[in-house]
């Protein structure tokens, strides 16, 4: 069975340019957020001084990187993650952007799922109609 990280890496292997940049950021933000969340457990649970120092460094550096990556997503692709203000190209913060913005959950999966929503809905509709016809035929027997 393939891990979530392996799946994400394979998906990234198929992309280049802006598509790669955007998906990389969407995948790395929650990855870093998870690392910060885990590192926040260290002060109350770990005993090793080295581990406590590592935890502090993870919290500091990866929190900074999450902010940086979120800002890039916002500026380059007008995508904001949960809890992040949208920054206009002029550098000012907007609460209501001039153009539509995709708001994603922290996992970033909606960006991947959205392109498949319409084809899946059409497939479900077609399957439902075919099933309805079969049931009507069976009832008429």
**90 SS3 class:** coil
Look at residue 90 in the predicted model and tell me its pLDDT: 38
Give the DSSP letter of residue 83.
T
Mean pLDDT along residues 39-56? 95
Q: Are 32 and 44 in contact (CB under 8 A)?
A: no
Q: Render pLDDT for 61-95 as a digit per residue (tens, 0 to 9).
A: 999 999 999 999 999 988 876 655 444 333 433 33
Q: What's the pTM value of the predicted model, to 2 decimals?
A: 0.57
Q: Are 110 and 63 in contact (CB under 8 A)?
A: no
Residues 6+ apart with CB under 8 A from 134: none
Look at residue 68 in the predicted model and tell me its pLDDT: 94
Look at residue 59 in the predicted model and tell me its pLDDT: 95
Residue among 115, 8, 87 at smallest CA distance from 79: 87
């Amino acid at each position: 069975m393939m891990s979530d990280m392996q799946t994400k890496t394979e998906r990234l292997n198929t992309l280049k340019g802006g598509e790669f940049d955007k998906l990389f950021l969407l995948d790395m933000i929650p990855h870093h957020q998870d690392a910060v969340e885990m590192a926040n457990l260290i002060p109350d649970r770990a005993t090793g001084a080295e581990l406590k120092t590592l935890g502090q460094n993870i919290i500091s550096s990866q929190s900074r990187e999450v902010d940086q990556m979120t800002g890039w997503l916002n500026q380059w692709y007008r995508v904001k993650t949960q809890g992040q203000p949208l920054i206009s190209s002029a550098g000012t913060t907007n609460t209501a952007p001039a153009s539509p913005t995709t708001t994603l959950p922290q996992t970033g999966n909606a960006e991947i799922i959205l392109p498949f929503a319409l084809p899946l809905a059409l497939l479900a509709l077609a399957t439902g109609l075919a099933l309805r016809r079969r049931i009507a035929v069976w009832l008429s027997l």
